[in-house]
Chains A and B, each alone.
Chain A
């Protein structure tokens, strides 16, 4: 197992390097000459050349990339010129809040999605299946940012059950119970789409597995239908559901951008949206890189979990 994890870790390195190349190239898409933009009306040719040299922009792209990655590896993601603080400090601070939100959503979508998917497969074409299929369809067609607003209208304004925004109450909050109260609406909203996808794929995986020969063997053993479904079929279906959960981690990390904006959740997504509108590019770059790297590592975890479930994959 250790060897397998090591192998997967090594394989993740080129992926993360690739991410950095793409982020680097995206930043090169910026129209216009950065020196010109910085200097404005002071942009004499001599000044432009001086700034370009100072920023290293007179070097070739590969050289620029190597220098940039070197800085990243030393923890130097640059400074946010709007916030006037190091990018990395801001990103790490914000990312904690996003991890709480996205993590809670991932738990919700895994548990609810898998249970709904199994129930729906077991009672295929029955009422349970129809209801689950209906909710799945609504879930994957519903704009999460709209659903969030509707939830705020009902749960926070109409019924006054839950807070509408923020992570902690302004006065007297700060404990775990307070955090959970603030977490329910945004995490629930964020989980809707992912839950639909997980339920749909779990259902498909279960139906696929229930047709396999080894299920017939389990039946021929005289096992009860429950043992056949929940022990034999589910265990095999889980192997193909795990990578789907890994992909959902990416969807909740990305979807957090909307949800954090709607619910004023002080996370990375909210920071990114603000940074884009103020064109604080170094902050965008740092935030996207860190989130993408974490996503790669989550998928690595999913790979390892899959290999632990399925001994055939370790070979």
Chain B
């Protein structure tokens, strides 16, 4: 093939995870604060500070900034700064140890359950479910009650109640890894289960362990501090941040600083860890990176370099001129539709045909600004409906045209109908969107529309949910919604692709009849020349975002000018053709293979 295949300009240099993390200012701040706290806590024995447990009754409850006691003293005259730093060290050690224990046992349970499956899986996971059935901290309290209060027992208790988070996450990943080829290969090479688990599965599970640890460690520090606060963790004279706060509570009104300082310290420590943890998760989650979770705008972003005429005199119902749409990717825009032009008259049917990724659906969605944005952006051209460029309209005006003059029928009605509303309600809503009618009247109209599109027992089906109907019936509902306001144009985006062949024929027949009866203009997006031949007056062939050929269906079928068109036509098998079909099609595609 000589046709140039466009590759998007790879303008965005791929940045390393570290750079991405540092680019996130909050995560960087979290890392900085946490690093500072960590270094000071580690250096505690080397810092020139008074003994944290040295009491000094005459100087009790000194306020902050006192001589020799930067943060003051507590109820026994002990230096708060010194106790704070040593207490932070203990809280960190306990929190991190609890996390490590929970990660170790939780991951083991998850690995074994996910790898072994069967009985071992059920037994282990039921046990984990039981642990989760307790209100979080109450089980820890029961364990401390049994073992007796103490820092080590609190650590065990917190570790135990956090095992389920690790077990569940790790099991999920292990289940998906155990069936992968490299695990099969290891098994066939004669490796034992234990060896496979630790040399093949574990390395691939490790990132999930790290993410789970980074998101739970702050929480565990908080919970161990909580147990100490209640007097169930660290016992005097040892003090972690929680027990400092718990002991200072008695003097809350006379010396609030003794409570507030350790409280703020816990907050700063946990906050810095959470900032860092969120940052790490964001960097490692590909969905957040790609912007797939950005909120789509109500109308596609329009950024046209030049302004086409706002209206056309005596134009047909739909005129598309030089339409270009792309997807923003960092600073650059990757084009998906390039310079597409076509016209559609009243009562006419135009087919746009092409393979997946050819830009035909993006073209269809661009007409009413329905391409999800971000990342979608319309970069040029005009869409004239009744001679008026809709891309120049204000958003509210464009939204008012949707569903009224121009309506859509989408591909898979199982995902395109709202799963939680009865079908008649959805049709009625389409009616009410553009007519000032009451609910009852709209519902009546919905029933009529359901009959129009050939649903026989409409009244009975009205209260059904989309998942309770067959594929064909669902698509009829989709069409009924499109007809709700007597539109001029219906844009059907692969309306029959999700249906089986006999149903497909009936749906096409329905669209065809409606077009004739109502003088509708039909824009039909498809990848199937069989469908085009059956329904369309004219056809435009799309490839790589451009229209490569356009004309009468009959003449294009008879004498295709473009190679690509020839191949698409050849792809429609004839009944009883058998192997001859493959022999006929093979040479057309061979030349494209390297």
Q: Chain A: residues with CB nearer than 8 A to chain B?
A: 15, 18-19, 21-23, 26-27, 29-31, 121-122, 124, 137-138, 140-146, 149-150, 152-153, 157, 204, 206-208, 210-225, 227-228, 232, 235-236, 239, 249-251, 253-255, 257-258, 261-262, 272-273, 275-277, 279, 281, 284-285, 287-288, 291-292, 295-296, 299, 309-312
Contacts and interface: CB of A to CB of B under 8 A. Distances in A.
B434 A222 contact: yes
Contacts of A206: 295
Interface string B271-315: 100110010000000000000111110100000000000000000
A42 to B, nearest CB: 23
B135 A253 contact: yes
A222 B401 contact: yes
A292 B146 contact: no
A191 B563 CA distance: 66
A216 B410 CA distance: 10
Contact of B146 (A26, A138, A144): A26
Secondary structure type dominating chain A contacts? helix
A149 B136 contact: no
Contact of B134 (A215, A276, A288): A288
The 9 closest A-B pairs by CB, nearest first: A222-B403, A146-B263, A254-B137, A141-B271, A222-B402, A18-B130, A253-B135, A254-B135, A250-B135
Contact of B143 (A26, A124, A141, A251): A26
Given A150-B260, A221-B481, A211 B296 contact: yes
A311 B264 CA distance: 47
A15 B130 contact: yes
B230 A261 contact: yes
Contacts of B138: 253-254, 257, 272, 287-288, 291-292
19 contacts: A18-B129, A26-B139, A30-B146, A142-B270, A143-B267, A150-B263, A153-B252, A207-B294, A213-B415, A214-B418, A216-B370, A218-B418, A222-B401, A222-B433, A235-B418, A255-B136, A276-B232, A295-B134, A310-B420
Given A15-B129, A220-B402, A228-B298, 7 more contacts: A137-B275, A216-B365, A220-B407, A221-B433, A222-B401, A222-B404, A262-B249
B271 A137 contact: yes
Contacts of A258: 226, 229-230
A214 B419 contact: yes
A251 B418 contact: no
B162 to A, nearest CB: 13
B266 interface: yes
A261 B141 CA distance: 14
Contacts of A157: 253
A279 B147 contact: no
A17 to B, nearest CB: 9
A150 B266 CA distance: 14
Interface extent on B, as a size class? 35 or more
Given A121-B295, A253-B135, A284-B142, A309 B230 contact: no
Nearest to B256: A153
B553 interface: no
A255 B153 CA distance: 19
Contacts of A255: 136-137
* Most B-side CB within 10 Å, residue of A19, A206, A288, A296: A288
B105 interface: no
A228 B297 CA distance: 11
A22 B163 CA distance: 14
Contact of B467 (A217, A222, A312): A312
A218 B416 CA distance: 9
Interface in B413-467: 415-421, 429-430, 433-434, 465, 467
Contacts of A207: 293-295
A211 B571 CA distance: 33
B145 A279 contact: yes
Nearest to B222: A143
B251 to A, nearest CB: 11
Contact of B135 (A214, A291, A310): A291
B107 interface: no
* Most B-side CB within 10 Å, residue of A15, A26, A220: A220
Given A152-B252, A153-B256, A143 B145 contact: no
* Most A-side CB within 10 Å, residue of B144, B148, B295: B295
Contact of A221 (B218, B270, B412, B430): B430
A220 B467 contact: no
Contact of A292 (B134, B229, B295, B412): B134
A15 B131 CA distance: 10
B419 A211 contact: no
Interface in B242-266: 242, 245, 249, 252-253, 256, 259-260, 263-264, 266
Contacts of B131: 22
A88 to B, nearest CB: 17
Interface in B197-241: 218, 222, 225-226, 229-232
A163 to B, nearest CB: 14
B564 interface: no
Contacts of A223: 403, 429, 433
A236 B274 contact: no
A245 to B, nearest CB: 14
Contacts of A287: 138
B222 A217 contact: no
A210 B368 CA distance: 18
B259 A22 contact: no
